[in-house]
Chain A
Amino acid sequence: QVQLKESGPGLVQPSQTLSLTCTVSGFSLTSNSVHWVRQPPGKGLEWVGAIWSGGSTDYNSALKSRLSISRDTSKSQVFLKMNSLQTEDTAIYFCTIRLFAYWGQGTLVTVSS
């Protein structure tokens, strides 16, 4: 069955770079786009970006200067890298596919010194 699992450092210092991994199973990355969505504590959902089945990417307009999404199809993994982190980037980060039909449980990223 379709499964997605996010992993990451948990705590990141301000101005540093965040690296997250979404490990998937039950489907092919070359046939499905994978999206990242984040949710600050107590707030709503924000679309971060996506990597399409062909490998191209799209990003949130407000984040695109700091953001990179890539993948390793042989490992069934999608990667998110965001630099120059600030406290406002503290959030649960989810990966999701198929027009938001399947989600991982999310990983909490706290930006703090």
Chain B
Amino acid sequence: DVVLTQTPPTLSATIGQSVSISCRSSQSLLHSNGNTYLNWLLQRPGQPPQLLIYLVSRLESGVPNRFSGSGSGTDFTLKISGVEAEDLGVYYCVQSTHAPYTFGAGTKLELK
């Protein structure tokens, strides 16, 4: 099974600060169809997860453009350019290139 390693596990930020989260895969997430199925989710307390980014870098409809995703192969990054209070929660990367699908362990974003 693919293992996704997320770092850091916890991130402390001030409002307006830019932060990045890393997600590294134990094998390439490039599918034979040419797509790379790596998504980023945000889960706020008491809520189901929300899709932010799909196919590495595509912004889900309605998600603010301060969120961006990048990467290829086995190394991926989520960047938040100017953290806002509503961004606090736990961020997960998830791969859907290889079954069984797998999630990263999560990165908790909290206020400094």
**Which residue of chain B lies nearest to A52 when distances are taken between CB atoms in the complex?**
B99
Chain A: interface size category: 20 to 34
In the complex, what distance in Å separates the CA atom of A103 from the CA atom of B52? 13
Partner of A44, one of B39, B48, B92: B92
In the complex, what distance in Å separates the CA atom of A104 from the CA atom of B50? 11
Cβ contacts under 8 Å, A45 to chain B:
41, 43, 49, 92, 94, 103, 106
Cβ contacts under 8 Å, B51 to chain A:
99-101
A104 engages B101 (CB within 8 Å)? no
A47 engages B103 (CB within 8 Å)? yes
In the complex, what distance in Å separates the CA atom of A58 from the CA atom of B41? 22
Partner of B1, one of A50, A61, A96, A100: A61
In the complex, what distance in Å separates the CA atom of A30 from the CA atom of B15? 44
Cβ of A105 under 8 Å from chain B: yes
Cβ contacts under 8 Å, B99 to chain A:
50, 58
Cβ contacts under 8 Å, A35 to chain B:
101
**Which residue of chain A lies nearest to B40 when distances are taken between CB atoms in the complex?**
A100
B100 engages A99 (CB within 8 Å)? no
Known: A100-B41, A100-B96, A104-B48. 16 other contacts (CB 8 A): A35-B101, A44-B92, A44-B103, A44-B105, A45-B49, A45-B94, A45-B106, A50-B99, A50-B101, A58-B99, A96-B48, A99-B37, A100-B39, A100-B94, A101-B54, A103-B49
